[in-house]
Structure 1
């Protein structure tokens, strides 16, 4: 058997082999390591997005025009997404050459130090234009780190998983996004309740960034206990690693086609998450005039529901297949956009909160639970870290990073009404579903069934 696609029967045995009996205990450590690692990374990354919505526009991008300040704040949010594909290719190359474990340790350290440094930055009032420049520089380092983290964490789980359980194992690292978001927004809400506005803007937000160092230490202790994946070790022993994984990825016709379709499929999930978890915070506070802490608590509750539902739909994906479930999730997301914004227009805090929990907590879990395993199927094991990272991180530029900017701009173009923005979001869902369904089963590099 070779690393070329065709039918599942012609695919390598690397993932068709269950972990050896003496690796069972290590599998549990792998799942915990993947979960904590992605939780720390996403806590750091999306802590920035929360701060961009409620703090940075005031401290680093002051403007007499609130719209301009918000847009500038979201521009720096976007900068992190520009760095992510670079980090994806860089750390993907390292991960496919020397292994998943050592790469993940590096990404965690870079992310933790970058986030903690943000917590001690001087403001625009203190040092002028140097403040936003330093913020952008640290955001770039965050982007590089998260660019290499996600794929490695998912691969650690999927490549250790026994046949028939790959999608549910692959869903565990995805919980990190929900938990990281919940920790960040929840901590901001807690600090907002304990401190008045002046205290929160002066030093309260900095506490949340400083705690990143504590989380990183905990994550490193667990991550250092994990062994390299059996799939990578077998590949290195039997085939040898790719010399330049990204070049080989582009040369492999099947992997190249899968990569293009993966990039398009990601548009739906990235746009959905960054609308409900990032743009929504600003929209609910600035346009709907809901209290900031109420909105942060709503996002935190939605993230808790998301974490629970990811485990449920991870199991469903093992039966329905990650490809089919992801396409269904993209279509449900597209159908839910207009009704959601109709409900938001009521400005009823309870109704808005319920709708957000349904959108981010339930609908998004149908998309996000199978995503990691689906993207792991797009490339052979010797190119898998690079392939997954490129699909997820390059698409993050337009699917994730641009979404708050585009939706905010379309909101303004619509005179404050959300219907133009809704049309764009529906389009992303349709494109994502169509691209996912265009992935041919015979071109996937391993099966998720026994």
Structure 2
């Protein structure tokens, strides 16, 4: 009996499994670097950069200018989404993800090598802003591509209960808390060295380490083949010639829907992490070191919770899990804000950990929810543009608006009302997708997209 066909199929399955693992690790590692840099730069923009790149200005102005460079990346992220999203839909996911990894790694490492303004004057802040903009451009195309590389490479099965798409997508979403933990751990370790040494060279180490992470991610990504969905699309000659124009003209509401779904959970996350730390120290009497430890525990719990939740996404239904998670987040947000002013460190730890679990339940299914809203020919562009718009209203603005509301009203409940309102919008935007979660059969690529109205 000839076993050659059987052997060929076995080798093909083995090769497919290796490629799926490479795709998963490459996607997760690249997105972890994105978030690692995001949180690292935010912290350094407050504690280091004002003294090294804006030292000619007064303390307040220097800090304001430094923090502004942090926010500058948000401005170009939608541009990066449009640029790299279009390339990803026309030329493939793999090629673009290799490009974004190189751009992110080089930009991050070069920040760690920058001379200060004491040595090169105005060139120092100029180069810092330039590198930050390049990071933002890379980030704009990174998340969407990594999500598609993971989800489209997941092994499709006949039933949702056996599918791995939710788990693969959750590992990309878990990169956010992973980056949060790594960046805060790096800062906690390095701030223990001599302050003068930290300001002179210690702060550079985490950025250079980011370059090393990028090299590892690049090696993995170079070994990944293109996703099967895009390959079939290209073989049939159905690649879109102008995906950005198609998305903006035919599917603008889907793009905005993604932005709105992300907006509420994103706002609650950043309000808890950024605004919450400041509020707990100033109004609750906790120390900055205590809150840093809380944030690290929050990140670890959220990472573990996202991976655990990812195992149940396909069985429970991605949109259904996201909806109930957002509702739970709406319940937890006022509780967290109330406890932060209590000054009770143990109670703060407990509510933060519960909030981390809730955030994980929301985050885990979003990769699949967003991916299924667009057909493969415009998916990279649509998902990237929607998500990056969501990060502006659900990432860049909430901490600023929360601080402004607190200053204007003197009450943290105004902040709670703002966050809960955004969560209500997100819940309403995702609830219409829940009917897809009840079906036992896994839809082919783009089925949800084709079933939705524009």
Q: Deviations over 1:106-137 (max 9, x none)?
A: 11111112122222334456656554443322
**Structure-2 residue corresponding to 1:171:** 170
Contact 1:265 1:432 in 2 (8 A): yes
Q: Distance in 2 between matches of 1:421 and 1:64?
A: 30
> Structure 1 pair 447/172, CA: closer, same or farther in 2 (3 Å)?
farther
Match of 1:299 in 2: 295
Kept in 2, the 8 Å contact 1:46–1:180? The answer is yes
Based on CA coordinates, which of the two structures has the bigger radius of gyration? Answer: 2
Deviation string 1:212-262 (CA, Å, 9 cap, x unpaired) is: 11111111111111111001100111143100101112333xx43322222
CA positional deviation for 1:414: 3.0
Flag structure 1 segments of 5+ consecutive residues without an equivalent: 1-18
How many residues of Structure 1 are paired with residues of Structure 2 in the alignment? 424
Rate the CA distance shift 1:293–1:133 in 2: closer, same or farther, 3 A: farther
More moved, 227-236 vs 73-82: 73-82
Q: Is residue 2:426 matched to residue 1:432?
A: yes
Indicate the larger mover: 325-334 or 149-158. Answer: 325-334
Query: Following superposition of structure 1 onto structure 2, how do residues 395-410 of structure 1 map, counting pairs within 5 Å?
Result: 395-410=390-405
Residue in 2 that maps onto 1:341: 337
Higher relative contact order (CA 8 A, sep 6+): 1
Q: Is the 8 A contact 1:54 1:282 kept in 2?
A: no
CA deviations 1:371-398 (Å, max 9, x no partner) are: 1111001110010000110010122112
**1:53/1:65 Cα in 2 relative to 1: closer, same or farther (>3 Å)?**
closer
Distance 1:412 1:61, change over 3 A: farther
The aligned counterpart of 2:408 is 413
Q: 1:218 to 1:281 in 2, by over 3 A?
A: farther
Residue 222 (structure 2) aligns with: 224
Q: CA deviation at 1:440?
A: 7.3
The residue aligned with 1:422 is: 416
Helix, strand or coil at the partner of 1:120? coil
95-104 or 435-444, which moves further after superposition? 435-444
Q: Structure 1 residues 122 and 422 mapped into 2: Cα distance closer, same or farther (>3 Å)?
A: farther
Please state how far the C-alpha of 1:307 moved relative to its aligned partner.
Answer: 1.2
Match of 1:118 among 107, 111, 128: 111
Q: What is the correspondence of 1:92-171 to structure 2 with a 5 Å cutoff? A: 92-123=85-116, 130-161=123-154, 162-163=156-157, 164-171=163-170
1:384 is matched with which residue: 376, 379, 383? 379
Give, in whole Å, the separation in 1 of the partners of 2:388 and 2:365.
Answer: 17
- Pair 49,354 (structure 1): closer, same or farther in 2 beyond 3 Å: farther
Shift in CA distance, 311/279, structure 1 to aligned 2, threshold 3 Å? same
What is the CA–CA distance in structure 2 between the aligned matches of 1:288 and 1:299, rounded to whole Å?
A: 16
Task: Give the 3 Å change call, closer, same or farther, for CA 61–429 of structure 1 in structure 2.
Answer: farther
TM-score by length of 2: 0.86
TM-score by length of 1: 0.87
1:367 aligned residue: 362
Q: Which residue of 1 aligns with 2:188?
A: 189
Residue aligned with 2:224, SS: coil
Tell me how large the CA RMSD over aligned residues is: 2.6
